[in-house]
Structure 1
Amino acid sequence: MSEISARSRVETTSGGDVVLDWASVTHQGRRREVNQDAVLAHYPLFVVADGMGGHIGGEIASASAVDRLREVAESGQVSPRTIEKALGRAVKDIAAHPETTDDGTGTTVTGVFLDTSGEVPHWVTLNIGDSRVYVVREGAIVQITTDHSVVQELIAAGRLSPEEAENHPYGNVITRALGPSNGVTPDYVRLDVLDGDRFVICSDGLTKELTDYGIQHFLSENADPSDAVRAMLDAALENGGRDNITVIVLDVEFASSPDED
């Protein structure tokens, strides 16, 4: 069974001390011979990359994206500008392996980071592809990112219902990915930092097997992030595990605020 990585951190911000607890896991699933997913959970940046391509192209693409983003996370200078520079370097890394990569090679890059550069801290989500960021806030689960996929475009055009999309033959076809010739800019969404938020960052190997309500169920049943990722992984495998599965759960809690001093 894949090993779960868990960490915690107390971050002092202008809004008070924020306690962050997170856990991550990645698994090749039941039907894939290799795991082309890669995961980064290094404060302040939490990212899932889902590689695609024959041979080891997908592994190279996802690993290149995560390795370059890890450098940014370790520097502590995480912003859209530094993320896009890192992704540009990842494109060059992918292109440097012509013997194992081609035009079909690429990776999703999806995640969230805590931006403390301004007067008020914010979360910022980033997305290329069809991995997802969810937040559970005030008892409701919300998908923050929008899939870059053929199916999502059909839904947005009113030509397909979400129910029909679940088994659509083009369900795996994405419209945006980071690849050897694709310098792609992520979509960004800014969110307030609120006490009690729970983030889920995951590859589509999870959402192929669990509905949004299923994800929320396992979160509500498991207060500890490690228990939550384990429960979701186990359920996804039990439901078929048709693809690689990667999950991060990130919990947010205020330890104190200036008003309490």
Structure 2
Amino acid sequence: MTYHINYAYTCHVGKVRPNNEDNFWCCGERLPVSNQGIAEIRAGIRLRESLPVLAVFDGMGGESQGEMAAGLASEALENFYKANKGMLRKTPELFLREACREMNQAVCTYGREQRISAMGTTIAMIAFGNKEAHICNLGDSRIYQLSGTDFSQISRDHVLKSYRFGKAPLTQFLGVEETEMKLEPSIGTLPYLDGDRYLLCSDGVTDMLSDKEIKEILQMEGTVRDLVQTLLEKVLEKGARDNTTIILCEVKQDERPLLTWLLQNRK
């Protein structure tokens, strides 16, 4: 018996913004710094033993610095994962913390070198181990879990609670020197069950759709690709005022040795 992770993802510029400041790292796939998103829904499958990691980034900063921050962070995550993947088996929390530190340093170093005072990016990340899902976030990009009929946000919004006008400023994100603010990612571990679904998304989704609407879509029958398509269509229907990045994962139990062999020997 084993588990595999079905996943699907997309990144759309939206209907209002002239450029895309979102990015992602999805089992080795990411976008270049300068991009207009992707035109389709992409999908894949990974065995849990391969320790898949998936992340969403929502960049912030004027004059194209948001996409630079998101791109630098996704590249830093890729490099850290390749060099330290083994940490996920024994010390997953340490992996997440150190990955955030590396990504933060990459963004901060670029900012110092280019003399840019304000650039950064959120991150929402999930890593699958043998029995548990390990989650991490900074900022207001979110992670939701649907397990059976139970639906909940499992990430924490790092926003200024007392802010009353407009969109609340972030209190945590990648791109702040640790001499100015301690980096404190929210980290959690949850056991997973067959059929559990996890949604990672930028605020281009959550500013357009309510939690109730998101839950209703995640409860639908269909593949993860189908559900990502439905989420994106609903966001576009409501105006898509911001860039929109969506990653949806589904945990599936499988006892067929053939599937395991095919996954382990895929090209």
> TM-score normalised by the shorter chain: which range applies?
0.7 to 0.9
Give ranges in structure 1 of 5+ residues lacking alignment: 1-15, 155-164
> Residue 110 of structure 2 corresponds to which residue in structure 1?
96
- Given that 1:53 and 1:101 are in contact with CA atoms closer than 8 Å, whether structure 2 keeps it comes out as no
> Residue 99 of structure 2 corresponds to which residue in structure 1?
86
Distance 1:170 1:228 in 2: 30
> Residue 7 of structure 2 corresponds to which residue in structure 1?
22
TM-score normalised by the chain length of structure 1: 0.78
Structure 2 residue 133 is matched with structure 1 residue 123: yes
| Counterpart residue identity of residue 36, structure 1 | E
Residue aligned with 2:219, SS: helix
Q: CA deviation at 1:130?
A: 0.4
Distance 2:150 2:233 in 1: 23
Structure 2 residue 226 is matched with structure 1 residue 218: no
TM-score normalised by the chain length of structure 2: 0.77
Cα offsets for 1:196-250 (capped at 9, x unmatched) = 1010000111001111111122223342111111111111011011111000110
Give the alignment of 1:1-261 within 5 angstroms.
16-42=1-27, 44-75=52-83, 76-77=85-86, 78=88, 79-94=92-107, 95-98=109-112, 102-116=116-130, 121-150=131-160, 153-154=161-162, 169-182=165-178, 184-256=183-255
Q: How many corresponding residue pairs?
A: 224
> Residue 161 of structure 1 corresponds to which residue in structure 2?
none
Cα offsets for 1:116-136 (capped at 9, x unmatched) = 3xxxx2111101000000001
- Given that 2:96 and 2:136 are in contact with CA atoms closer than 8 Å, whether structure 1 keeps it comes out as no
Give ranges in structure 2 of 5+ residues lacking alignment: 28-50, 257-267
Cα offsets for 1:134-177 (capped at 9, x unmatched) = 00112131100110012xx34xxxxxxxxxx9xx5342421111
Residue aligned with 1:124, SS: strand
User: Mean alpha-carbon deviation: is it higher for 25-34 or for 95-104?
Assistant: 95-104
Distance 1:215 1:81 in 2: 31
